[in-house]
Chains A and B, each alone.
Chain A
Amino acid sequence: MPSQPRAPLLRMSKAAMPHDCNHAHQGSRAVTPRIDMPRPEFTSRTPVLLVLWPLLAAIAVSSCAPSTPVAGQVELLNVSYDPTRALYEDINQAFAADIRSRSGVEVVISQSHGGSAKQARSVLDGLEADVVTLALGHDIDALAANQLLAADWQTRLPHNSAPYTSTVVFLVRKGNPQRIQDWPDLVRAGVGVVTPNPKTSGGARWNYLAAWSYAMRQPGADETRALAFVAALFANVRVLDSGARGATTTFVERGIGDVLLAWESEALLARDELGAGAFDIVMPSLSILAEPTVAVVDRVSARHGTEAMARQYLEFLYTPAAQEIIARHHYRPRDPQVAARHAGQFPELQLVSIADLGGWEAAHRAHFADGASFDRIYLK
């Protein structure tokens, strides 16, 4: 910045000083005896520019930015869980094009992503979601318990309001140096496991329940032994990230751990796109049927007047076009024809469903509530 010529320290003058425009009080006080004082150098323009430059920059950037939404356009906010960013970017584009061609209405869908439980918490705290597309039904139940939507929300759409499924698989380093084949290998000494925290991450809850289900199905199993098994597994956990995407980054980018307990979709993404050739996927003998669920948030969409559009948006997820996008993003589609086309990507394996565990409420109370099994093994 060029330095300004310094103003004289003293200025003797009877007339109003040029910098008096700084404040309006001056004119009405003309009768006050005038005293001459050092002229404030603050009138030099540079420091003022210095203070105001964010303001000026903001104006400059705003002027070249896209304008605010046009009237007649419908806006939806989809609050979703961590790894679905790319999926919903594609879905949103397809949906907007579909609506535009059929009715000429312009739909703009905003996205917000984070750990599933944290996102549900934000919606409870006032994040204005027209629809929620979360990792598990329990998080949407929490919204229903606070009257944000009807308690029977899960029956409003086909397949338990889960337009696609996924499961939990093992992602290991290329060539599987630790020879990890199934769940028991994860509790071996020296095997580093990466999984997110079941307290904050929906994906992590599926991981935890998959391990638990495996342990409960071994000969002579009971709750004590199953608890000992998951305790041994979590003793091997190197990093407990808060969300599924963070855990994938820890394993893939930072190279921590020997095995990542991951959504099948995240594992396929990591194997085929991120570190092509650096990872292998191991299918355990038994895993869990993860059903990420979707729902219209009645109270918010009613206030926005977007119920019809929000419902259409979620119904669109079940159409063959959307199911194809879903399969391309490595989630298991519900549509049998689309599923057949992508069968090579999704091998069959024995899957336990949340109903086998007595439903989310029971599973939550037994494992993830304060003082439940996860706290007992992890806080020790």
Chain B
Amino acid sequence: MIGPDRRYRIARSALILGALSVAGLFLVLPLLIVLSGAIAKGWSLYLASISEPDALAALRLTLTVTAIAVPLNLVFGVVAAWCIAKFEFPGRSALITLIDLPLAVSPVISGLIYVLLFGAQGLLGPWLGEAGFRVIFAVPGIVLATIFVTFPFVARELIPVMQAQGRDHEEAALSLGASGWQTFWRVTLPNIKWGLLYGVILCNARAMGEFGAVSVVSGHIRGKTNTLPLHVEILYNEYQHTAAFAVASLLVLLALLTLVAKTWVEARAHRDRHPDPIVQPDEELP
């Protein structure tokens, strides 16, 4: 007879083994294939593939788009989360639904929205075209599509955090004479900063990896409107497998950086929630 203790240990090992093999098969193995494919024909070809002008242009575009979309979504996300968490107003639940919209619709539709809006046959396109301003098939369109698909990440992270906190701290600060800005910088921000960072990191990861929406509005002009994910697809379709894997490995690298940042933020947030009880702020305040 197997004792309950032994059975427990067997079950535990089986579960751990199962989880690890699934993770290995579906997460680690593809990563290894990408990396080994990238250096399959030697480091010199790898370096040549990632320093080729079109690849550099794609990297530059991806980073530029991310650098515009993420800070904007940081601001939008904080404002939206603030409104929703701290105030009651008509249309509040409609706003929550709207924030979730980009997660609900297919990214291809997200891209198409902008084509229908800003395309030469679209609603605003002809008018903008006459003014000499190009939105789709140019960088602004790619930025807009990226902002759209990454919009929910910051707000979604912040709403529960802000709701849990309630309004007491801010009301106390305001009644003690702090200005709105002071209240935000010294009361609200320190409380939400880890949720905020976490949201920014998720937003960042999605912004760099987005394919569907960007593909629709990009126009695929090599060296100009191709982002890294689009460039990988082009290389793959051109039978340049090594180059495709090499550029994909850049994306993997960016993803790993993101992952490291996320882990670090989680660790810091955890430590903040369980601080060493040296000074209790409530007791110290006069």
Q: Which residues of A does B touch, CB under 8 Å? A: 1, 3, 8-10, 22-23, 25-26, 29, 32-33, 35-42, 47, 50-55, 57-58, 61-62, 64-66, 77, 82, 85-86, 110-114, 122, 124-128, 146, 245-246, 249, 274
Q: Which 4 A-B pairs have the closest CB atoms?
A: A126-B120, A125-B119, A58-B63, A55-B67
Interface-side segment among B31-39, B40-48, B87-95, B129-137:
B129-137
Q: Which residues of A contact B121 (CB under 8 A)?
A: 124-126, 146
* Chain B residue at smallest Cβ distance from A66: B53
Contact partner, A37, options B134, B187, B222, Cβ 8 Å: B187
Contact partner, B176, options A35, A57, A61, A111, Cβ 8 Å: A35
Given A110-B221, A126-B137, check contact A42 B238 (CB 8 Å). no
Extra contacts, 5 of them, besides A9-B275, A40-B190, A110-B224 (Cβ < 8 A), are A52-B71, A58-B60, A64-B56, A113-B234, A125-B136
Chain B nearest CB: distance from A351 CB in Å? 28
Chain A nearest CB: distance from B10 CB in Å? 40
Contact partner, B181, options A25, A61, A64, A246, Cβ 8 Å: A25
Q: How far is the CA of A22 from the CA of B190 in the complex (A)?
A: 14
Q: Which residues of B contact A62 (CB under 8 A)?
A: 60, 64
Contact A126 B64 (CB under 8 A): no
Q: Which residues of A contact B176 (CB under 8 A)?
A: 33, 35
Contact A47 B125 (CB under 8 A): no
Q: Show 14 residue pairs from A and B whose CB-CB distance is below 8 angstroms, ordered by the A residue.
A: A1-B260, A36-B285, A38-B186, A47-B197, A50-B197, A51-B74, A54-B66, A55-B67, A58-B63, A62-B64, A122-B137, A124-B121, A127-B137, A146-B121
Given A40-B189, A274-B239, check contact A77 B120 (CB 8 Å). no
Chain B nearest CB: distance from A2 CB in Å? 10
Contact A25 B64 (CB under 8 A): no
Given A124-B120, A126-B129, check contact A57 B63 (CB 8 Å). yes
Q: How far is the CA of A359 from the CA of B119 in the complex (A)?
A: 30
Q: How far is the CA of A360 from the CA of B63 in the complex (A)?
A: 44
Contact partner, B237, options A23, A50, A246, A274, Cβ 8 Å: A246
Given A1-B261, A9-B281, A51-B74, check contact A127 B219 (CB 8 Å). yes
Q: Which residues of A contact B125 (CB under 8 A)?
A: 125-126
Residue-by-residue, is B182-209 near A (CB-CB < 8 Å gives 1, otherwise 0)?
Answer: 1001110110010001001100100110
Given A38-B190, A112-B222, check contact A61 B136 (CB 8 Å). no
* Chain B residue at smallest Cβ distance from A46: B264
* Chain B residue at smallest Cβ distance from A113: B220
Contact A29 B239 (CB under 8 A): no
Contact partner, A33, options B71, B177, B204, B234, Cβ 8 Å: B177
Residue-by-residue, is B104-129 near A (CB-CB < 8 Å gives 1, otherwise 0)?
Answer: 00000000000100111110010001
Q: Which residues of A contact B118 (CB under 8 A)?
A: 126
Contact A32 B179 (CB under 8 A): yes
Contact partner, A128, options B60, B134, B182, Cβ 8 Å: B134
B221, B261, B278, most chain A CB atoms within 10 A? B221
Q: How far is the CA of A77 from the CA of B222 in the complex (A)?
A: 10
Q: Which residues of B contact A37 (CB under 8 A)?
A: 173, 178, 186-187
Give chain B's interface secondary structure class.
helix
B223 within 8 A of A: yes
Q: Which residues of B contact A126 (CB under 8 A)?
A: 118-121, 125, 129, 134, 136-137
Residue-by-residue, is B5-28 near A (CB-CB < 8 Å gives 1, otherwise 0)?
Answer: 000000000000000000000000
Contact B173 A58 (CB under 8 A): no
Q: How far is the CA of A64 from the CA of B59 in the complex (A)?
A: 12
* Chain B residue at smallest Cβ distance from A274: B239
Chain A nearest CB: distance from B142 CB in Å? 13
Q: How far is the CA of A3 from the CA of B182 in the complex (A)?
A: 26
Contact B190 A10 (CB under 8 A): no
Q: Which residues of B contact A113 (CB under 8 A)?
A: 220, 234
Contact A32 B281 (CB under 8 A): no
B99 within 8 A of A: no
Contact A32 B221 (CB under 8 A): no
B279 within 8 A of A: yes
Chain B nearest CB: distance from A204 CB in Å? 16
Contact A38 B177 (CB under 8 A): no
Q: How far is the CA of A337 from the CA of B60 in the complex (A)?
A: 45
Q: How far is the CA of A12 from the CA of B264 in the complex (A)?
A: 30
A23, A38, A246, most chain B CB atoms within 10 A? A38
Chain B nearest CB: distance from A148 CB in Å? 9
Contact partner, A112, options B71, B190, B204, B221, Cβ 8 Å: B221
Contact B193 A42 (CB under 8 A): yes
Contact B279 A54 (CB under 8 A): no
B70 within 8 A of A: yes
Given A35-B177, A113-B220, check contact A41 B193 (CB 8 Å). yes
Q: Which residues of A contact B155 (CB under 8 A)?
A: none
